[in-house]
């Protein structure tokens, strides 16, 4: 299925240094069941939050950006784990800003989620980049010069069409009261394939129509 797409799974297992089946307690670094890659529609975040804060992200033509990579349990998730792993350096944070366009976001995601991954900050950001390179954004959503109304099914179908092996129960579309917020894609802990999102999918958007604000300033 997606095993060929995620050929770097063996690298991740070596970095984790643990057998996924051996984890026994909750809340320890490396003790989780699956990953969720969260892709945020940047114009929606800017319209709802970033503009009022004068965030630099909102002055740039971002479309989908990486919100985070989250270790998850089948029910719930660990957060703010106590780890001895080295956090990402300023240089490593700077190098990921094309995908996660705010140093504050990168630092927050490391503290809340990366510390639970069982990885160093460097390895955690490396995995994010690998996934961002492998998971394709549909062409229609790479640039949006004008606002658009879409359905949840339309967004989901577009991602399924360009990501071989991705099934409907392995993706979750998120919204606020009217806007598309995020697309979340679920992967096995060893990153060898996509996996059923379970609880994450049950929290998907239930709106029939979603508003997508336009990308600012041209193509991303």
Domains and CATH numbers, the chain: 32-212 (3.90.730.10)
What values do phi and psi take at 193, rounded to 5? -165, 165
CA distance 166 to 84: 35
109 and 93 Cβ atoms separated by less than 8 Å: no
Residue 122: half-sphere exposure toward Cβ, Cα within 13 Å: 4
pLDDT at 165: 97
166 and 160 Cβ atoms separated by less than 8 Å: yes
Identify the active-site residue in 74, 86, 91, 113: 113
Identify the active-site residue in 74, 86, 91, 109: 109
Q: Which two tokens stand for residue 30?
A: 């490396």
Identify the active-site residue in 47, 67, 156, 182: 67
Nearest to 209 by CA among 163, 148, 164: 148
CA distance 135 to 138: 10
CA distance 181 to 43: 9
Point out the residues of the chain with pLDDT beneath 70: 1-26, 217-220
pLDDT at 217: 67
- Residue 108 annotated among the catalytic residues of the structure: no
Which DSSP symbol is given to 217? Answer: S
Burial label, 54 (beta-carbon count in 10 A; 0-12, 13-18, 19+): exposed
């Amino acid at each position: 299925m997606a095993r060929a797409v995620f050929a770097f799974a063996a690298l991740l297992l070596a970095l984790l240094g643990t057998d996924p089946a051996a984890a026994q307690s909750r809340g320890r670094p490396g003790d989780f069941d699956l990953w969720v890659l969260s892709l945020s529609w940047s114009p929606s975040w800017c319209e709802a939050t970033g503009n009022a804060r004068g965030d630099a992200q909102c002055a740039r033509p971002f479309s989908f950006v990486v919100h985070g990579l989250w270790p998850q349990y089948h029910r719930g998730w660990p957060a703010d784990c106590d780890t001895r792993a080295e956090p990402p350096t300023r240089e490593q944070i700077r190098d990921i800003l094309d995908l996660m366009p705010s140093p504050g976001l990168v630092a927050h995601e490391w503290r809340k989620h990366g510390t639970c991954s069982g990885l160093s900050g460097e390895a955690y950001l490396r995995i994010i980049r690998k996934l961002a390179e492998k998971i394709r954004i549909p062409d229609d959503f790479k640039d949006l010069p004008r606002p658009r109304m879409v359905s949840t099914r339309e967004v989901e179908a577009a991602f399924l069409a360009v990501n071989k092996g991705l099934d409907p129960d392995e993706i979750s579309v998120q919204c606020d009261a009217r806007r598309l917020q995020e697309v979340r894609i679920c992967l096995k802990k060893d990153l060898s394939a996509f996996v059923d999102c379970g609880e994450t999918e049950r929290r998907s958007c239930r709106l029939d129509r979603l508003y997508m604000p336009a990308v600012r300033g041209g193509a991303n």
